[in-house]
Amino acid sequence: MKTTILIGGATGNTGLPLVKQLASSGVPVRAMIHTADKRAKVEGSTVEVVVADFKNRASLEQALQGIESAYLASPPSLDQVRDQAEFVDAAKAMGVKHIVKLSALGTAPDSTVGLLRWHAEVEDHIRRSGITYTFLHPHFFMENLLANAGTVKKDGAIFSPLGGALISPISVEDVAAVAAKVLTEGVHGGKTYTLTGPEAVTFADIAWTLSGVIGKPVRAEQVPFDAAQKGMIQTGYPDWLAADLVRLMQTWAEGRGSLVSVYVERLTGHKPLSIKEFFGRYKRLFLAAA
């Protein structure tokens, strides 16, 4: 009999496709959501939905009751370390045997990026808990490129501060596919997997690829980092998060985002989605008539 897997952050960028992939494979899933109004996003015949709060220990222990393997992801937050450590402590108390934690490329205790330091703190907390772990370090999500649809339609351009810096974006579907394997195979304890797309590209490459897919010219325009930070704040990002994301992009501009890893294909048996394939799926979003 297959055991139920808990997905923390079940409606998040990677949590939602992970729930869907596991459920479609017949794996029993318990989807942990923060508020009941998100229930419809994750409901399914093999999906049990539980409402729990990272700041409510009792709700976490209830969500983790009878669980052996759990996926830990949560949105960026100033309380990220405290919240995720509380999840780990609840998992320890409830006898969870394996935690798969979503971190990010560049996670390190001495990083200049707060989010990456915090991921490292939580990873260390998991190690010290004694629970078997697997850490996933994905690069920039391809899905973030969809935020450029408006400027592509209006200005025929993608704006970024990265200039000629190389990055290797990955689709959340591929991150979820790796997580599904790691959660169900039981042979990945103590591993850290860096996850990227199949190629390192510049934003000029990205714009050129998109232009070919939609049949319209698209150019890449470089903007200063401070302008990018102001733009994020104007679209609703908290000041601290916009500043930290700029620090993250600066590490890529320094050459620390060009890595291409083999783990998606090695673990799932299929090549990660390419930029061209990704834009083909979302072509309509970039066309003026959409």
Other CB atoms within a 10 A radius of the CB of residue 124 amount to 13
Question: Residue 186: inside a domain, yes or no?
Answer: no
Question: Residues 187-224: pLDDT tens digits?
Answer: 999 999 999 999 999 999 999 999 999 999 999 999 99
Q: Domain of 221: which CATH number?
A: 3.90.25.10
**Domain assignment present for 193:** no
User: Which range of residues forms the domain containing residue 156?
Assistant: 143-166+198-257+274-286
Same domain, 149 and 132: no
- Provide the domain count of the chain: 2
Query: Based on the domain organization, do 65 and 149 belong to the same domain?
Result: no
* Tens digits of residue pLDDT in 31-75: 999 998 999 899 877 899 999 999 999 999 999 999 999 999 999
Model confidence at 283, in pLDDT bands (50, 70, 90)? very high
Task: Determine contact, residues 201/159, Cβ cutoff 8 Å.
Answer: no
Residue 264 domain-assigned (yes or no):
no
Are 73 and 102 in contact by the 8 Å Cβ rule? The answer is yes
Residue 1 confidence (pLDDT): 52
pTM of the predicted model over 0.85? yes
Q: 174 lies in a domain?
A: no
Residues 98 and 112 in one domain: yes
For residues 126 and 88, the answer to whether their CB atoms sit within 8 Å is yes
5-20: pLDDT as tens digits:
999 999 999 999 999 9
Domain for residue 268, yes or no?
no
Asked if pLDDT for residue 258 goes beyond 90, the answer is yes
Same domain, 133 and 11: yes
Q: For residue range 106-142, what is the model confidence (pLDDT) as tens digits?
A: 999 999 999 999 999 999 999 999 999 999 999 999 9
The DSSP element (H or E) to which 247 belongs, if any, is: helix 239-251
On whether both 14 and 127 belong to a single domain, the answer is: yes
Interacting residues of 97 by C-beta distance below 8 A, sequence separation 6+? 68, 69, 131, 132
Whether residue 12 is contained in a domain is answered as yes
Q: Is residue 180 part of a domain?
A: no
Same domain, 46 and 9: yes
Question: Is residue 290 over pLDDT 50?
Answer: no
CATH of the domain at 127: 3.40.50.720
211 and 100 in a common domain: no
Distance CA(62)–CA(210), nearest Å, equals: 46
